[in-house]
Amino acid sequence: MAYGPHTADDRGRMRAALGIDSVDVLFDDIPAAVRASRLDLPEPVPELELAGRLQELASRNRTDLASFLGAGVYHHYVPPVVDQMLLRGEFYTAYTPYQPEISQGTLQTIFEYQSLLAELTGLDVVSASHYDGATATAEAALMAVRATRRDRILVSRAIHRHYLDVTRTYFTGGRLVIDELPTLADGTTDLAALEVALADSERPVAGVLLGQPNAFGLLEPMAEASRLAHAAGALFIAVVEPVSLAVLATPADYGADIAAGEGQPLGIAAQYGGPYLGILATTTVLMRQIPGRLVGETRDLDGRRAFVMTLRAREQDIRRDKAASNICTNQALCALAATVYLATIGPHGLRDVASLGAARARELEYALTEAGAGRLHDAPYLNEFAIRVPDAQAVHGRLLERGVLAGLPLARWYPDDPDLRDALLVCATEVTTSDEIALFAGALGEVLA
């Protein structure tokens, strides 16, 4: 076996100690009727050949295109120090820090992660991580239901479609209700409709959920939405993108009770879907409602500062069927990536990353407009926006042939919306180059001609 240490002698010694001739004896407790036949799988592959197969598979993914695809996952520059720290076996081969005396490394990094995200969001209580932005959003919605003892959530139509789908799935158990809020022509959430939905006293609302930026990359009137939610006794949940928080108003600035989001932009590679980092943050008022692990500061017997998992009575291994969530394994190593990334990039660096993305996106907007594809919406955006092109799916395909991954055809997410049939959602970040923008604009001009 590839990684087993046992020699024939070792196995013989263990069998002799147990007084058995064959290891098969140890499986006699499996009833004959359910013993497996031999697995129909290939034989072991030597490491050299396996490495070749993996390289071949990886090379069949096409990652050489000029990409303007974001839609919740963003390509950023990640200083190599991040991955080198992640590759320390002391971090990545450790388990959940249930033995704090020999887990202070993991525990302190989680405490630092919680603190850094508290600085970014303005909210004081940050969970040690959830699976991704979608599940963090679903957990945020469930928190609002528990905290208000109401069963209805209002979700903006301009929320990431996968986040909505996952929240729906998480809501099936409790037979909870999700009502979607329409958007205006400018692409932002219709606050008049929000006001009407909140006024329905027969169906009180637990939480109002908006994205900032929203799924079209646009900036929502968060302060006003938050005020309306609170006036109706509902909680306000912000779905945020963490890099943008270097420059945009924080969830605390506009009075959000809960913030959820995808931490992938903080030093984590795209990896075709994960592992990523579900960010979940809240106020101290709701501290005991938050699901997931929390690390707190304490002292050891000699009075030295140390860190430990705390408020454990919310968790499944203690509370079983009364737990706040069933989450156990989380995304701790991804939280470490975010911690090293933020420590390395610093406050000025993160602001530069966010601002450069905005500048590049502006450059992209001008170039695409020149090429004949203007913006679809009027509301302000940070680094992602939708453009209008006739038959966007087809244009997207023709641009692929020209080496451009032209974002996301919004019809993939909103198949029933005629207004979005002709829309591509495109983004830029600090890694987007002027050459790539010129390539996109030139190719688009050809395709539209």
Partner 1 sequence: MSDGTGPVSTALASASLVGADTAPEEARPGPAGRPAVGAALQPTLAELSRPGRGGGKVPHPPQDALAGIPTSALRRNPLALPELNEPEVARHFVNLSHLNYSVDSGFYPLGSCTMKFNPKLNEWAARLSGFATLHPLAPDELAQGSLELMHELQETLAEISGMAAVTLQPAAGAQGELTGILMIRAYHEARGDGDRNEVIVPDSSHGTNPATASMAGFRTVTVPSAADGGVDLDALRAALGPRTAAVMLTNPSTLGLFERRIVELLDAVHEAGALAYMDGANMNAVLGRFRPGQAGFDVMHFNLHKTFSTPHGGGGPGAGPVACNERLAAFLPAPLVVQDPDGRFRLERPGERHTAIGRVRAYQGNVGVLVRAFTYIRAHGASGLREISDDAVLAANYLRQRVGEGYELPYPGPCKHEFVASGRVLRQETGVRTLDVAKRLIDHGFHPPTIYFPLIVDECLLIEPTETESVETLDLFADALLAIAREARDDPERVKAAPTTAPVRRLDEASAARRPELRWQPMTGAEAPCPT
Question: Does 215 sit near partner 1 (CB under 8 A)?
Answer: no
Tokens read off for 36: 């497996």
Q: What is the Cα Rg of the chain in Å?
A: 25
Q: Which of 177, 178, 232, 270 binds partner 1 (CB under 8 A)?
A: 270
Cα angle value 165/169/173 (rounded, 5°): 155
Nearer to partner 1, 207 or 263 (CB): 263
Q: Are 279 and 260 in contact (CB under 8 A)?
A: yes
Q: By rule CB under 8 A, what count of residues binds partner 1?
A: 199
Kindly state the smallest distance separating residue 232's Cβ from partner 1, in Å. Answer: 22
Among 66, 140, 154, 166, which residue sits at the site for partner 1 (rule: CB under 8 A)? 166
Find the angle CA(106)-CA(108)-CA(110) to the nearest 5 degrees.
70
Q: E strands along 106-161, which residues?
A: 125-126, 152-156
Is 85 an interacting residue with respect to partner 1 (CB under 8 A)?
Answer: yes
Q: How many CA atoms lie within 13 A of 103 on its CB side?
A: 18
77/233 with CB nearer partner 1: 77
Specify the residue, 95 or 448, whose C-beta has the smaller distance to partner 1: 95
Q: Is 255 in the site for partner 1 (CB under 8 A)?
A: no
Q: Which residues in the 136-165 window bind partner 1 by CB under 8 A?
A: 160, 162-163, 165
- The minimum distance between CB 11 and partner 1, in angstroms, equals 6
* Element holding 279 (H helix, E strand): strand 278-282
Contact call for residue 297 and partner 1 (CB under 8 A): yes
Does 75 contact partner 1 by CB under 8 A?
A: yes
13-33: string of b/e by CB count within 10 Å (b at 16+)?
A: eeeeeeeeeeeeeeeeeeeee
The whole-angstrom separation of Cα 153 and Cα 134 is 15
* Only segment of 183-191, 227-235, 312-320, 439-447 that touches partner 1 (CB under 8 A): 312-320
172 forms part of the interface with partner 1 (CB under 8 A):
yes
Is residue 381 classed as helix, strand or coil in its secondary structure?
Answer: strand
Q: For residue 9, how far is the Cα from the chain centroid?
A: 49
Tell me the closest approach of the beta carbon of residue 193 to partner 1, in angstroms. Answer: 21
Contact yes or no for 292/258 (Cβ under 8 A)? no
Residue choice 8, 21, 149, 175 for contact with partner 1 (CB under 8 A): 175
Residue 382-401 contact track with partner 1, rule CB under 8 A, x = bound: x-------------x---x-
Residues 417-446 that bind partner 1 (CB under 8 A): 430
